[in-house]
Amino acid sequence: MTVAALGFMPDRGSDTPIFEQICAAIRSRIRSGALAPEERLPATRALATDLGVARATVVTAYEQLMAEGYLRSRRGSGYTVCAMGEVELSPAEETYPAQDLTEHPPLSLEAGEPDMRLFPYRAWAKCVSRLCRTRPEEMLTGCGGFGHPELRQAIATHVRDWRGIPARPEQILVTSGATEALDICLHALARQGGTVAVEDPGFPPICNFAEAQGLRVRDLFVDAQGAEVPTVGDGTGVVVLTPSHQYPLGGAMSAGRRQSFIAWAAQAGGWIIEDDYDSEFRYAGHPIPAMAGVDAQGRTVYIGSFSKVFSNSLRMGYIVAPDGLVDVLGTAMSAKGARASSMPQAALAEFMHRGEFYRHLRRVRRVYAERHRNLVDRLRRDFSDVGHVQDHHAGMQVVLHLRDGLNDQKLAQSARAHGLGADALSAFCRGSAGLNGLILGASLNDLDEQEEALERLRRVISSTEKSPPQERIFRT
């Protein structure tokens, strides 16, 4: 077709960039049938001259339309129109109303869940579509045993820039989440019949994995500095820690305690598994570097997750193995048959490489910081007769430590019955009796929803029968 037949001139007074105007014009002509399937578009140079724009502007527009599935390019024959049946994406001028894409749980105080209404669906769709079109084989193959090479590279850069870990891509093993990574690490590092020490309270699946492997589990009491350090020679071979943001209490481990753990590992010949599941969400002060970045002995295995910063459903996490452990952990990974789906790996790598991931991360961090602040303020203002909170300026949840006479299990059950989905703190405890609180999600609701959820929680607490008084201590 000729340039004139396109029948379009850019509006230079418009706020819409010219390349987007070109995209919109071609898109609407394809959708109306004015441009037929297999029809050739004007050559980029000719269209650029005719429209009085730079050739790069036209190239950008054509590439965008290719990514969206409207055009294809064949060597020597320029750009041609795809049949509409091949178009995979909605037109770019359409917005993505969140309720069409995700079912947002109404007013849930569920902890640790990202608000998927903030997810950059369009940018992600473009990335996936571009890959399907240009490197489709990589969606199904090309990941090797340890993950897609580009994703391993992107993760190495990420942990270096955000967590202070000087990792090389060869040290990265991509898993289907931090949970699987924990299982692999225990499988690889714990000695048969040995002892694994876990934080109490802590993340319940760790004990399940350890016990399933016939390992003894030792509870590490958590105080204001973090978990207690095992004694050298007490049989503990592996400790699993959440030093950046203790799960579920929320505090950061003190620098002194970190050093004590590193010293313990060196002296006992033990291993530290650092579960850094949501460390990107720190809202005040400087980021706290990961232990794996300061452990010069190389006895700390680092685990990260994309469940909080990206999407829980993506099921993607990773291990940063110290140099000497890459093969050991890789073998354990294969022995367990563990492998993350290859489908999203190249797309995620590109998403990170293009900066979209970081745009999203900065945005959600800003939003969650505000929600976190509001939740802490509201709990302090309106729930001081119910219990107390400590603001750790981090993470996606806040613990409301209940005063004596209120039973967290009973309250959590009533809250669930009212659709609020709060968790009882005591359900995450093993030996440490006395912890009694509600774990409240700070990220899922916007500020108005949060207000409503808290009013509902207030009513639930008032109407729930008070338990007989019990001896309780507060630990934060």
Contact set with ligand PLP (CB under 6 A): 112, 177-179, 203, 242, 247, 275, 277, 305, 307, 312, 317
The CA distance from 346 to 136, in Å, is 10
The residues, any chain, with a CB within 8 Å of residue 263's CB and separated by 6 or more, are none
For residue 314, the minimal CB distance to ligand PLP (Å) is 9
Nearer to ligand PLP, 209 or 351 (CB): 209
Q: Which is nearer to ligand PLP, 178 or 321 (CB)?
A: 178
Query: Between the CA atoms of 475, 204, 425 and 107, what dihedral angle is there, to the nearest 10 degrees?
Result: 140
Q: What whole-number distance in Å separates Cα of residue 411 and Cα of residue 415? A: 6
Nearest to ligand PLP of 247, 264 (CB atom) = 247
Closest approach, Cβ 242 to ligand PLP, in A, equals 5
Distance CA 306, CA 177 (A): 7
| Residue 204 C-beta: closest distance to ligand PLP, Å | 9
Amino acid at 180: E
Alpha-helical segments (H) within 321-355: 326-335, 345-353
For ligand PLP, the closer of residues 275 and 295 by Cβ is 275
Among all residues, whose Cβ is closest to ligand PLP? 177
Of residues 162 and 383, the one with the C-beta less far from ligand PLP? 162
DSSP string, 60-95: HHHHHHHHHTSEEEETTTEEEEPPGGG--S--TTS-
Q: What is the closest distance, in whole angstroms, from the C-beta atom of residue 305 to ligand PLP in the complex? A: 3
Closest CB 222 distance from ligand PLP, rounded Å: 13
Q: Are 315 and 175 in contact (CB under 8 A)?
A: no
Report the residue number, 313 or 463, with the smaller CB distance to ligand PLP. Answer: 313
**Minimum gap (Å) between residue 213 Cβ and ligand PLP:** 18
| Cα 99 from chain centre | 21
Write down the least CB distance from residue 333 to ligand PLP, Å. 15
- Comparing CB distances to ligand PLP, the nearer of 179 and 426 is 179
Write phi, then psi, for 474 (nearest 5 degrees): -100, 130
What CA–CA distances, in Å, run from 103 to 19, 94, 107, 126, 235? 34, 19, 12, 22, 48
